[in-house]
Amino acid sequence: MSDEKEISEQTGTSAVVNHAESSVMGFTDKDCPSLKELKKTAMTVRRHIINMIAEAESGHPGGSLSAVEIVSSLYFKVLRHRPLEPGWPDRDRFILSKGHAAPLLYAVLAESGYLPVEELATLRKFGSRLQGHTDSTRLPGVECSSGSLGQGLSFGIGVALAGRLNNKDYRVFVLMGGGECDEGQVWEAAMAAAHYGLDNLVGVIDHNELQIDGLNREIMNIEPLADKWRAFGWEVVEIDGHDFVQILDAFENAKQTKGQPTMVIARTVKGKGVSFMENRVEFHGKAPNRDQAAKALEELDREAKCLN
């Protein structure tokens, strides 16, 4: 997508949320939600994910739910972005490399104001902008088409290099899966990003220990994961991927790191927030049926009430 084109298309819509105006980090006190609000938003996002996938009768709940806190932190606290001006050239970029978590991205984009929340119900339907896996040609705000694993980090390197060439100070965040790290291209990118010293690039691995056929360690062992990234020349931060404070700290740490890219290895639970989906491999790519969806929403409601 050409930024110029997007900008001209978006002319007239830029009188919108501008998280960038009054702070370096890209969020102001006013815009910056408290921890409690972030937690509430995460619950809302989880509800959207369940509703969307249940309505579509197909999709990937497990790996969408495991990264809710990570992606919510980015969009509601870390990224410098303008939801009504998705092509803003100075925006921070979020690249969803594990494209099967598309419902999560759409939910967060909707809660940020990129698209109407009602549109979420069109997920995976004929003619919808909300494709089964992300399609950057259809929905503004989606930086990169995905669904074929292992390609997002390379794309992110290109975007980060362009930022450097164009004297832009935007930052690039790429979300990957643990199983996705089986792909050779991930490690080609790992080498390249460190080689170019891309400190404007931050990777996050949603390390939920499961892929499709089972546990990472049984299908293809990726450990010791942190040591691998370190050996490739990355700054590595290991965190609990459901703890907002740790997530935000990790991104702050990445910002302070100079001369090398940062990889945040986030320990997560696949299917997080819905008891019967947690750590259950069968909910990688299976939609909840009506009863299951109702039960899931009930659980999430109960959790949300506890936050009040």
For Mg ion, the binding residues (CB under 5 A) are: 177-179, 208, 210
Q: Which does 58 bind (CB under 5 to 8 A by kind): ligand TPP, Mg ion, other proteins, none?
A: other proteins
Q: Which does 62 bind (CB under 5 to 8 A by kind): ligand TPP, Mg ion, other proteins, none?
A: ligand TPP
User: Rounded to an integer, what distance in angstroms lies between the CA atom of residue 268 and that of residue 24?
Assistant: 30
User: Rounded to an integer, what distance in angstroms lies between the CA atom of residue 203 and that of residue 262?
Assistant: 6
In three-state secondary structure terms, 203 is: strand
DSSP H helical ranges for the chain: 3-10, 35-56, 61-65, 68-73, 102-112, 152-165, 184-195, 216-219, 225-231, 244-256, 290-307
CA atoms within 13 A on the CB side of 302: 9
Answer for which of 83, 86, 132, 178 binds ligand TPP (CB under 6 A) is 178
User: Rounded to an integer, what distance in angstroms lies between the CA atom of residue 23 and that of residue 32?
Assistant: 11
Restricting to residues 63-122, name those near other proteins by CB under 8 A. 99
Cβ proximity to other proteins, 183 vs 199, nearer residue: 183
> Does the footprint of other proteins cover residue 128 (CB under 8 A)?
yes
Answer for which of 19, 93, 124, 272 binds other proteins (CB under 8 A) is 124
Region binding other proteins by CB under 8 A among candidate stretches 73-81, 138-146, 189-197, 240-248: 138-146
Restricting to residues 10-39, name those near ligand TPP by CB under 6 A. none
> Does the footprint of other proteins cover residue 261 (CB under 8 A)?
no
For residue 265 the two structure tokens come to 């290895």
Q: Supply the minimum distance, in Å, between the C-beta of residue 41 and other proteins.
A: 27
Q: Which does 80 bind (CB under 5 to 8 A by kind): other proteins, Mg ion, ligand TPP, none?
A: none
Query: Distance of CA 116 to CAs 129, 151, 296, Å?
Result: 12, 29, 23
Query: Distance of CA 182 to CAs 179, 236, 243, Å?
Result: 6, 18, 26
> Angle CA(128)–CA(134)–CA(139) in degrees, nearest 5?
55
Binding site for ligand TPP (CB under 6 A): 62-63, 66, 98, 100, 147-150, 177-180, 206, 208, 210-212, 270, 284
Binding site for other proteins (CB under 8 A): 56, 58-59, 99, 124-128, 131-133, 135, 138, 145-150, 179-180, 182-184, 211-213, 219-220
